Amino acid sequence: MKDGFIKVAAATPRIRVADCGYNASEIIRLCHEAGQLGVKILVFPELCVTGYTCADLFLQDTLPDSAEAALSRILAETRRLDMLIAVGLPARYMDKLYNCAAVINRGKIQGLVAKSFLPNYGEFYEKRWFEPGPSANLVDARICGSKVPFGTDFVFPCSNVPGLCVGVEICEDLWASDPPSKRLAAMGASVILNLSASNELVGKAAYRRELVKNQSARLLAAYIYADAGEGESTTDLVFAGHDIIAENGAILAESRFKTGLTVSEIDVERLAFERRRNTTFRAGELTEPALRYGYYVMNPDFWLRESDTALTRPVGRSPFVPADPAEREERCAEIFEIQVRGLKKRMEHTGCQKLVVGVSGGLDSTLAMLVSAGALRELKLPPDGLLAVTMPCFGTTERTKSNAVLLAEKLGAELRCVDITASVRRHFEDIGHDENDRSVTYENAQARERTQVLMDIANSLNGLVVGTGDLSELALGWATYNGDHMSMYGVNAGVPKTLVRYLVGWYADTRGDGELAAVLNDILATPVSPELLPAENGEISQRTEDLVGPYELHDFFLYYFVRWGMAPKKIYRLAKYAFAGVYDDGTVLKWLKTFLSRFFSQQFKRSCLPDGPKVGSVALSPRGDWRMPSDAAVKAWLRELEETDV
């Protein structure tokens, strides 16, 4: 459970209908198999001890008796396993039969949870055999020679794993308009187990998947769904063992038409963070008055040994970029539209009809040009309402200058070249700076001169300077204060560098003609550089990623640091896992320290950002998502990494 990761599994055993002894053997076998894999929470299907399709045999005493004997055997043979196990079986209370989940830890039944909503429509006839779970106060039931808590709405907190609290619902409960899991989450359950026997129909699997995924999102919880499969009677129905593990709206693992284990890891620390930051998530409200109506939090009684959970869950290298090509294309189109609409509104509000963009032949200014051209089209203004300004100086190369000119031509923009070399040299004379001194003053003087040129041109045209800086640069402070840091509207402020590249590529593939696409593709192939130091043999001498680190790493760090509030050690662990074979551990650690140091020290630049559209879940606007003092110390965050092994 180190770093909040807990290995969990949904299990679909191969069963024989009404053969409880055989079914117990299969359940026990899978429990031990899961134990070998380090699974800590294991969920079996609804009524798996007997089989879901026993029909009127449920009313015979023989079957519930056999199920109870099988449960006693399961308890005895799993008592040494470090695991919370939920198995489904029929259980009797006060001469009535209930469809239940027995929640087990180390050979002891922690509780017996009854199904709340019994389907009695279509192919289902559960009310013929079972009673709905009691809504009265929690009671004790006798099973396997012991008194155990019996009811519906109660949760199981782990005594030694902060944030781990388990709630249980059964199959149809999830389909109900007011599912028990909603109340369980309000009582603190961060993990919902669903023991199910959902048969297959055309289209039902997709609906079931969305239901599980969306419920995990609504509850900010992990959801483990175990479905009945092979061995159930096929008299009228077929069961496919559709097992699903979801976490906060994401499917972590899924299987169908097979028996055995579906395994992944949930992150209870991540869920706890999301619940803390989400002010509409209501927890802890079911206090003393609610207890009188049957809502219970059990005394922490189950525990799990501390372990370093091996990760198998998907952790992408580019969390801002969807891996699926179709989803990525849709995402790019949506983000581009948000950028265009934001700029369009600002133009309408200010009454300006001229946009001014400083073009360098790099990715960020290219995207800003494309967005600006899109805003003009939306306003039905001529394309030459976009003024592209190139401002060559000491480090400008022919390749980037040529691409900037070609881009402006292909978009129909007005092009103006303002060589700032003489102005910068005059400025060096004014402040007494030696041009041979290539320090930060040498670089920043060029950036600030370019911003002054853009602002003054925009003033003369009653226009608006469109900012080009992206989210990754804002995170690292990789911008000259009151230079390229400033604009009148920053269209890329919410777009991380790794996504800028895909947006430009998407535009080239879907909206550019042959010549425009060729220019965009050459820009994509150009190294990222501020071009503030003189070129070497006509080539770019200053590569940003050599200086500040790989943007794919920094975007990874940014996502997990801001979106999920993860501690540095945990981010380091995930980055090593995601980038294994790409960067060695020492490289990852080096740039993570760089990211943290720069993120803290450069907050003063983010405290006075121009307006710009938010496009995703990570944003750094001081007026919206990110509030941080400019003088915060990074020491505690770096201290976590001081003793980290590489």
Report, as residue numbers or ranges, the catalytic residues.
Answer: 46, 115, 171
Element (H, E) at 252: strand 250-255
User: Which residues lie below 8 Å from residue 185, measured CB to CB, with a gap of 6+?
Assistant: 167, 192, 219, 220, 221, 283
Identify the three-state secondary structure at position 471: helix
Phi-psi domain of 80 (left: phi exceeds 0; alpha: psi -120 through 50; beta: other): alpha
Spatial distance between the Cα atoms of 68 and 21, rounded to a whole number of angstroms: 10
User: Which residues lie below 8 Å from residue 336, measured CB to CB, with a gap of 6+?
Assistant: 370, 371, 374, 503, 506, 507
Q: Return the structure tokens found at 291.
A: 């207890």
Identify the three-state secondary structure at position 141: strand
Q: At what angle do helices 363-378 and 325-350 cross, to 10 degrees?
A: 60
- Burial grade of 418 (CB within 10 A; 0-12, 13-18, 19 or more): middle
| Other C-beta atoms lying within 10 Å of the C-beta of residue 53 | 21
Identify the three-state secondary structure at position 108: strand
- Please report, for residues 300, 370, 384, 450, 487, the alpha-carbon distance to residue 413 in angstroms, rounded to integers and kept in the order given: 68, 11, 4, 19, 19
Q: Which of 439, 503, 487, 522 is nearest to 612 (CA)?
A: 487
Contact 62, 50 (CB under 8 A): no
Which residues share a beta bridge with 93? 96
Task: Supply φ then ψ for residue 92, to 5 degrees.
Answer: -100, 145
Q: Return the structure tokens found at 29.
A: 């076998």
Contact 586, 576 (CB under 8 A): no
Q: Return the structure tokens found at 112.
A: 């017996």
Identify the three-state secondary structure at position 623: coil
Spatial distance between the Cα atoms of 375 and 438, rounded to a whole number of angstroms: 39
Spatial distance between the Cα atoms of 33 and 78, rounded to a whole number of angstroms: 11
Number of H helices, E strands in the chain: 21, 20
Identify the three-state secondary structure at position 416: strand
Spatial distance between the Cα atoms of 52 and 229, rounded to a whole number of angstroms: 10
| Other C-beta atoms lying within 10 Å of the C-beta of residue 256 | 17
Q: Which of 306, 302, 286 is nearest to 294 (CA)?
A: 286
Spatial distance between the Cα atoms of 462 and 480, rounded to a whole number of angstroms: 25
Spatial distance between the Cα atoms of 239 and 246, rounded to a whole number of angstroms: 20
Spatial distance between the Cα atoms of 289 and 284, rounded to a whole number of angstroms: 12
Task: Supply φ then ψ for residue 275, to 5 degrees.
Answer: -70, -35
